[in-house]
Homo-oligomer: A and B are copies of this chain.
Amino acid sequence: MTMSNTGGRRRPPTIHDVAREAGVSRGTVSRVLNGGHYVSPAAQEAVNAAIRRTGYVVNRHARSLITGRSDSVGFLLTEPQERFFEDPNFNVLLRGCTQALAAHDVPLLLMLAGTEDERRRITRYITAGHVDGVLLVSSHSGDPVAEELRAAGVPLVACGKPIGLGSKVSYVAADDRDGARDMVRHLLSLGRRRVGVVTGPLDTPGGVERLAGYREVLGEAGVAVDERLVVPGDYSRASGEAGAERLLAQAPDVDAVFVASDLMAQGVLAALQRAGRRVPEDVAVGGFDDSPAAVAASPELTTIRQPWDRISAEMVRVLLAQIGGDDPAAVILPTELVKRDSA
């Protein structure tokens, strides 16, 4: 435990020092450092002891210089950053990725590409090989950065299915469609038959899939889809409020609403209450995300939980595999219905 680094910040020990201390060669120390194959138990032990005694830590720059790897990955956030940073799910994602990477001793570089300038700088930085791979989080997919990185051959894992990149790029996503199906089935199971939907933006996979799930379940249940019950939203609270108003106007007999995000659902609740409808007695409301907005709402929202902790873990796993040479892969994770008071 003596760090032998008392006082004035000396030159840190190198692999050479360790080799001398252990009475072996650089090569042997290096082999121990890199998995210990073809090393005798005696040498193994001597080297480990020497490392402990000298407090040696590998110089990653020297290693990277020769291996060409950087042993670090970037966490890239493109587009309007405020929105992401305010999203608690994003925080879970960032924290999860950091921790999962830390378990592999891989540092995470946080990169924000808000402006066009930053995007260029960061793309350049990444394609120059300063990171081995990128965890990509972008809101509206079909991101030009993603395409550039893919073209440059940089290992890449997106959060959520990117639009328009085919199966060339890995991604990890929650099963939006299945989550939507669960929720709509739940609403039907409550005896509701006039189930409306406030969709997400239909240029995002999430928006599309959640709507598709809605349509599927109604179809399977033999309930005709009334297009007056389908109104668009953009995930914002305000759009939820507007959506509910439109729904009430177009189909006053609505008795349940599946809302594609909790934030919108808050708006829906407000509009319904203003219109004198009781929730859940008159109209049942189902959200999506299980964000804090869900418990902050009154009544508390029944919603769909996305497994953000697993998503981050999977993103890291897939990325590291890809850096290791594996092919791109898509991972879809199941969601969970969280029953509270609104339905």
A→B interface (CB under 8 Å): 5, 9, 12, 57-62, 64-65, 70, 72, 75, 81, 85-86, 88, 91-92, 94-95, 98-99, 102, 105, 107-112, 114, 118, 121, 124-125, 127-130, 152-153
Are A85 and B94 touching (Cβ within 8 A)?
yes
Contact of A5 among B9, B70, B152 (CB under 8 A): B152
Q: Please indicate which of the listed interface residues A81, A86, A107, A108 has the most CB atoms of chain B within 10 Å of its own CB.
A: A107
Identity of the chain B residue whose Cβ is nearest the Cβ of A124 in the assembled complex: B57
Q: A70: which B residues are within 8 A, CB to CB?
A: 61
Q: A12-B129, A98-B112, A108-B110 are in contact. Are A65 and B59 (CB under 8 A)?
A: yes
A-B CB contact pairs (8 Å), 9 listed: A5-B127, A5-B152, A12-B129, A57-B124, A57-B125, A65-B65, A85-B88, A85-B95, A107-B125
A121-B127 Cα distance, complex, nearest whole Å:
29
Q: A65-B62, A108-B110 are in contact. Are A128 and B57 (CB under 8 A)?
A: yes
Q: A62: which B residues are within 8 A, CB to CB?
A: 61, 65
**Closest CB in chain B relative to A53 CB, distance in Å:** 15
**Closest CB in chain B relative to A132 CB, distance in Å:** 12
Identity of the chain B residue whose Cβ is nearest the Cβ of A109 in the assembled complex: B107
Q: Please indicate which of the listed interface residues A94, A98, A102, A153 has the most CB atoms of chain B within 10 Å of its own CB.
A: A102
A108-B77 Cα distance, complex, nearest whole Å:
13
Are B118 and A9 touching (Cβ within 8 A)?
no
Contact of A61 among B65, B92, B110 (CB under 8 A): B65
Are B152 and A9 touching (Cβ within 8 A)?
yes
Q: A72: which B residues are within 8 A, CB to CB?
A: 109
**Closest CB in chain B relative to A255 CB, distance in Å:** 30
Q: A112: which B residues are within 8 A, CB to CB?
A: 95, 98-99, 102
